[in-house]
């Protein structure tokens, strides 16, 4: 049982500000368990009461998890005054419930991004100690081959304009005869890591898409910019990363 003021519940669900939802209640547009609500301050069970706005039943979940196919040209951030962010792709409900991106993708990178209100789950995904693998598909402007795959497997020493670090051993799959299409498996998330790894071997990324986080694959039915709520089974795949 999760008791909550009706106006707070409506605002949390993204139906307006507290003052706006009070106006909706006064106008008789809100029902609770089939009866028209008269008091915006009435206590309702957010998880069990049937709350409807203009006949549309509202659904409360204490925790929300979203799978987004992040498109190119959008920032991975909660908000930005000048540029569009991934949170702008979702209804206001998700920001109101405290959802945040779990990790980040570069502005020009697309692919799988998890947006969640569960801080512990987000920590599992992004914490270096959890060693959660991420898989990327990349197209390059120059070929990579078996020597490069061996270098990836041994662990690359990266030294460039963005700094210096020793990358953990990673798997490089060569997907095309040209050597310009590859799949890269990494278990850490340094700044521009995949781009810097390939650049250190003489190949620049011209297109990058994240396909998998841990055991969770990007839903192929989601086009760039599309999203859906995750299933319990999908959330469980990510929670197992803590085991």
- Catalytic residue positions, numbered: 106
Contact predicate 75/97, CB 8 Å:
no
* Pair of tokens at residue 149: 């795959």
Q: In the numeric block, which tokens belong to residue 222?
A: 């989601």
Tokens of 90: 């979702």
Give residue for tokens 């692919």.
111
User: Residue length, the chain?
Assistant: 243
Tokens at 118, concatenated: 């569960």
Distance CA(31)–CA(41), nearest Å, equals 13
Q: How many helices (H) and strands (E) does the chain have?
A: 7, 17
Residue 165's contacts (CB-CB under 8 Å, 6 or more residues apart) are: 158, 190
Q: Cα separations (Å) of 90 from 16, 94, 100?
A: 15, 7, 11
- Exposure of 188 in the CB half-sphere (CA atoms within 13 A): 15
User: Distance (Å, rounded) from C-alpha 192 to C-alpha 194?
Assistant: 6
Alpha-carbon distance of 143 to 128, in angstroms, equals 30
Question: 188: which 2 tokens?
Answer: 């850490």
């Amino acid at each position: 049982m999760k008791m909550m003021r009706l106006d707070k519940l409506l605002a949390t669900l993204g139906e307006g500000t507290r003052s706006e939802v009070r106006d909706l209640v006064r106008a008789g547009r809100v029902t609770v368990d089939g009866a028209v609500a008269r008091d915006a301050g009435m206590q309702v069970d957010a998880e069990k009461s049937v709350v409807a706005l203009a006949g549309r039943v509202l659904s409360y979940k204490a925790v929300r998890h979203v799978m987004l196919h992040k498109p190119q040209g959008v920032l991975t951030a909660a908000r930005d005054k000048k540029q569009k962010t991934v949170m702008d792709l979702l209804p206001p409900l998700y920001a109101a419930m405290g959802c945040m991106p779990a990790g980040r993708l570069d502005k020009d990178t697309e692919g799988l991004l998890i947006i969640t209100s569960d801080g512990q789950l987000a920590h599992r995904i992004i914490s270096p100690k959890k060693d959660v693998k991420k898989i990327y598909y990349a197209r390059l402007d120059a070929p990579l081959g078996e020597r490069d795959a061996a270098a990836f497997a041994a662990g690359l020493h990266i030294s460039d304009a963005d700094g210096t670090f020793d990358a953990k051993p990673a798997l490089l799959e060569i997907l095309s005869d040209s050597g310009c299409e590859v799949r890269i498996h990494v278990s850490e998330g340094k700044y521009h890591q995949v781009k810097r790894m390939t650049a250190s071997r003489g190949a620049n990324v011209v297109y990058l898409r994240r396909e998998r986080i841990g055991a969770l694959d990007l839903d192929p039915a989601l086009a760039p910019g599309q999203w859906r709520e995750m299933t319990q089974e999908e959330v469980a795949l990510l929670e197992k990363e803590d085991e």
